[in-house]
Structures are given as C-alpha cells and as structure tokens.
Amino acid sequence: MKYIDEFRDGELARALAQRIADEADPGRDYRLMEFCGGHTHAIFRYGVQDLMPANLRFVHGPGCPVCVLPMARIDQAIAMALEHEVTLCTYGDLMRVPASERKSLLKAKADGADIRMIYSTQDALAAARSAPERQVVLFAIGFETTTPPTAVAIKAARAEGLENFSVFCNHVLTPAALGTILASAGGGQDPGQGADRGAGAQGEAGVQLDGILGPSHVSTVIGSRPYEFVPSTFGKPVVIAGFEPLDVMQSALMLIRQINEGRREVENQYRRAVTRDGNRKAQALMAEVFAPRETFEWRGLGFLPNSALRIADAYADLDAEQRFPVTPRTSREIKGCECPSVLRGVMEPTDCKLFGTVCTPENPMGACMVSSEGACAAYWSYGRFR
C-alpha cells in the first residue's frame, strides 16, 4: 500500500540502522523523547529500539490524550451524567480509565448513567438529533488533532439549532506540555513558568533529553512553527516525525546529525503531510470556536497555564460546563500507579511495581495501561519487559 509498505521495508530499515550505528558517537548518550503515543507504539511494534545502538534510548512522552486527562475531569463527566441525567457520548478508550472511588465511565454506565461509546463527533450529533427530548453531551478530549472535528460539531449544532447538544471540552495544547517537560529536564526558561506541577512532580528531577521527535498528526494541524521555541529557549533539536518505523528511524538519524554537528533546529521529516504553517483552515476554525483556558490540569504535569481550550464566549450556550454545572473535583492517583512519572519520561512502565501484576490491560490501574496509545499498554502488548 502506497505510503505504508514503503515505510516498513525491512532492508531499508537495516540500512538505516547501520547508518545510525555508524554516525552515533560512541562517546556519548542520545536520549530522544518521542512526545506522541503513536510513535511509542511504532517503536515497540516494529522493534525499532532493538535496531538502535546501545547508547541511543527512546524516552516516552505524554502524547496520549486519554493518559493526560486527570481523574478530576472524568469524575466531573460522571457527575454530569448522573446529576443532570444527560446522555454522555465519548470515545472507547476513555470508558475504562479509573476514576475516583473505583469508578470509571463504564462502571457509571453499569450503575445506570446513560454513557455511550462513539467513533466520531458526528455520532454524538446523531444521538442528539434522534432524541430531542434528551440532553446529549459530547465528552471531547484530545490534542490539536481532534480539536477541529469538535469545532465542526459545535458549528453544525449551532447551524441546525440543535438545542439538546453541548460539549464538555477537554482539548489540550501540545507546545505547553512540551515546554513543561523540557523545563523539568533542566534546560532554558520554562514558557509555563508559574505552573503548579502537581503533587506527582514536586521535587522530582526531570529526565535528561537530547532531542525531541515531534508529533506527526498534531503537526499536520499546527505545523512545525510552534516548536521553534524548543531550540531557541531550551537549546534542543526537534524533528517532526512520521508514524511509520522508517519515519522514526530517519528522524532519529536527523536528530543524531543535529546533535553531532551542534545544530539546534526544527526539522521536518514528515514533509509528506506537515508544513511550517500547518492547516490554516483548521486553525481558523479552532480560533473561532475555542479560547485558551488560563490554566488546566494535566495528569503527571499538574496545572499548566495556557495549555488547554475552552469553548469561546460566542458559543457559550453549547458549553456543557456552563449548561450542567457540577462541583469541581480534585484529582488523585491510584496508590502505586506511576502514570505521572511515566508520562514525564522519568520512569519506564516496567519500573512500576503494579505493571503486569495488579495492572494489565484487562484490569488497568492507570490511564497509561488503558489507552491504545499509552506507554504501559505498549510495553505490555509488545512484550518489552526488559
């Protein structure tokens, strides 16, 4: 299949691995963070780490939308469904993420809440159209990739005069999280200075990072320009990387070359989909329908300023947080779950005492084991128990 098979070619992979081994300086380490969970899965699924020299390690980042959603927001969604008796529509991955008091959306559904799994925002709109007597809330999550479809749904609801549809908005912004991780890694000035890093992060040293593999899907929307603060503020190179194994390997080689040559730039390996300016139409749509939140909680990173979106005032009547207010909740983690440290790249999943014993995909203790993009799920699925 065009654009797939050619990026999974074994011979090319072996040649690239040899090139990486030839060019990597044996006198130093290369710790490269892949921000996105899609890259984490490509690395494990195709054994990319095994093809790398011993002094190159991939560090897993927080780029899994389900994993970074704090428990408090799931608690809030459950409260909305139960207290206001709304129909709550959300994506499958989120259903089993543990919430407070041993609950989850799935368990709340078993307790009688009307919570439905959807595949797209259009399913939520369809649910609202088919039951005008029910209030339908779209529990919207995700990075900049999934934000435009939520904006489309909000605009469609407004255009149709769909009065029983609203959105519980939890969309988050990639650059803010990247800046926080780099600041905790000890480089440059934090663009999110003043952030409350949350209990899990307090007093904990960040991980050493030498370069960043930038997200691919997110970057199709925002472009490569928003990462330019990474070299200028933190002195680290970035390569926007595609999701296939050869994309990841070529991006690692590009990072090695930047590091070896002392260059610190944003380079774009994923040129077949990403430009410097991104998708301006999608950006305009997001700017019309959403506004930045002053602060938002991320699992593992704490409260970060300007790191998430709320529904803009012009569409406030479609904001479920205003239509169905519930008491704000406080997040906490399941005892022993190391998701916050895993999400910051400080720990590997196998460092968690619960990994593979108490916590498995069948019985997840934390979001990183639930989501198909979570690092713990990747380690488990591909048997990487070093």
Which lies closer to ligand SF4 via its Cβ, residue 99 or residue 173?
Answer: 99
To the nearest whole angstrom, how small is the minimum distance from the Cβ of residue 202 to ligand SF4? Answer: 18
| Residue 376 in the binding site for ligand SF4 (CB under 6 A) | yes
Tokens of 73: 């927001």
- Enumerate the H helices of 296-371 as residue ranges: 320-323, 339-343, 367-370
Task: Give the number of residues in contact with ligand SF4, rule: CB under 6 A.
Answer: 14
Reported as type and span, the H/E element at residue 50 is none
Q: List all residues 6 or more positions away from 276 whose beta carbon is below 8 Å from its beta carbon.
A: 223, 224, 225, 268
Question: If 0-12 CB within 10 Å is exposed, 13-18 middle and 19+ buried, where does residue 21 land?
Answer: middle
To the nearest whole angstrom, how small is the minimum distance from the Cβ of residue 357 to ligand SF4? Answer: 9
| Residue 222 in the binding site for ligand SF4 (CB under 6 A) | no
Q: List all residues 6 or more positions away from 381 whose beta carbon is below 8 Å from its beta carbon.
A: 41, 44, 45, 361
Which lies closer to ligand SF4 via its Cβ, residue 88 or residue 354?
Answer: 354
Which lies closer to ligand SF4 via its Cβ, residue 312 or residue 369?
Answer: 369
Which lies closer to ligand SF4 via its Cβ, residue 45 or residue 353?
Answer: 353
To the nearest whole angstrom, how small is the minimum distance from the Cβ of residue 95 to ligand SF4? Answer: 16
| Residue 368 in the binding site for ligand SF4 (CB under 6 A) | yes
Which lies closer to ligand SF4 via its Cβ, residue 89 or residue 347?
Answer: 347
Binding mask 338-367 for ligand SF4 (x = CB under 6 A): xx--x------x--x-xx---x-----xx-
Q: List all residues 6 or more positions away from 143 whose beta carbon is below 8 Å from its beta carbon.
A: 63, 65, 171, 172, 173, 174, 215, 218
Among 33, 88, 369, 378, binds ligand SF4 (CB under 6 A): 369
| Interface positions, 278-337, toward ligand SF4 (CB under 6 A) | 337
Binding mask 41-80 for ligand SF4 (x = CB under 6 A): ----------------------------------------
| Residue 378 in the binding site for ligand SF4 (CB under 6 A) | no
Three-state secondary structure call for residue 328: coil
Please choose, from the candidates 147, 97, 58, the residue with its C-alpha nearest in 3D space to the C-alpha of residue 384.
Answer: 58
Which lies closer to ligand SF4 via its Cβ, residue 311 or residue 352?
Answer: 352
To the nearest whole angstrom, how small is the minimum distance from the Cβ of residue 106 to ligand SF4? Answer: 16
Reported as type and span, the H/E element at residue 31 is strand 30-36
Cα–Cα dist 304/77, whole Å: 21
Which lies closer to ligand SF4 via its Cβ, residue 239 or residue 342?
Answer: 342
Cα–Cα dist 64/36, whole Å: 6
The DSSP code for 28 is S
Interacting residue ranges for ligand SF4, rule: CB under 6 A = 337-339, 342, 349, 352, 354-355, 359, 365-366, 368-369, 376
